[in-house]
Amino acid sequence: MHRKEESGETGVPWRPRIVAFFCNWCTYTAADLAGVSRMKYAPNTRIIRVMCSGRIDPQFVLDAFTEGADGVLIGGCHPGDCHYSEGNYKALRRYHLLRRVLTGMGIDERRFRLEWISASEGDKVKQVINEMVEQLQQLGPLDLPTERMRLDSELEEMRPRRSVIDISEELKEAAHV
């Protein structure tokens, strides 16, 4: 089952997909505010709510890219405003180091973004997402899953992907129901 059929995008030209990790107190709330204010913006983001940007394990970012995200966006409270006092500083430090790893591995740094968006900045949610979608449109698909498949096609026999969690069985099971 390929992801494009899955998400109802069959036949539709490629549109970038962003996985966004938003902190509960600021950026997630800001995205709610954008909704309440009926601000229209690009729909390409899938938001994962975490309590604090400090919870964002760099592994999550890498996993999202590995699983096919074209971009990853981290949203947290402004410096000094973190609900948990300083989780956002930890996020910022990790971001800068991880950014260097990503670019070192050939992933354009515009695909990975961190923004401070306070609960009152619904308009910034709109602006940041629109901007990022536009940049990703220009960069084109990242599509690491296909890239990895292409790479492994040099092997005599391809191995199943080594994934951090295995949901293939569950999905297969469900397909039988």
Q: Which of residues 78-97 bind other proteins (CB under 8 A)?
A: 79-87, 89-90, 92-94, 96-97
Residues in 16-35 that interact with other proteins by CB under 8 A: 17, 19, 24-25, 28-29, 31-32, 34-35
Which residue is associated with the tokens 């999550």? 60
Per-residue binder mask for other proteins (CB under 8 A), 47-76, x = binder: xxxxxx-xxxxxxx-xxxxxxxx-------
Q: Kindly compute the dihedral angle of the four CA atoms of residues 82, 20, 131, 111, in this order, to the nearest 10 degrees.
A: 110
Count of other CB atoms within 10 angstroms of residue 150: 10
Q: Can you tell me which of 16, 27, 75, 98 binds other proteins, judged by CB under 8 A? A: 98
Contact 71, 111 (CB under 8 A): yes
Among residues 98 and 128, whose Cβ is nearest to other proteins? 98
Distance CA 63, CA 102 (A): 12
Contact 71, 21 (CB under 8 A): no
Count of other CB atoms within 10 angstroms of residue 85: 12
Q: Write down the least CB distance from residue 134 to other proteins, Å.
A: 16
DSSP 13: P
Q: Write down the least CB distance from residue 128 to other proteins, Å.
A: 13
Q: Can you tell me which of 73, 74, 107, 132 binds other proteins, judged by CB under 8 A? A: 107
Distance CA 89, CA 82 (A): 9
Q: Write down the least CB distance from residue 175 to other proteins, Å.
A: 7
Number of residues that bind other proteins (CB under 8 A): 100
Per-residue binder mask for other proteins (CB under 8 A), 117-156, x = binder: ---------x------------xx-x--x-xx--xx-xxx
Alpha carbon of 20 to those of 96, 149, 154, 161: distances in Å?
A: 17, 25, 33, 24
Q: Write down the least CB distance from residue 55 to other proteins, Å.
A: 3
The number of C-alpha atoms within 13 Å of 151 and in the hemisphere containing its C-beta is 7
Q: Write down the least CB distance from residue 86 to other proteins, Å.
A: 5
Q: Write down the least CB distance from residue 77 to other proteins, Å.
A: 8
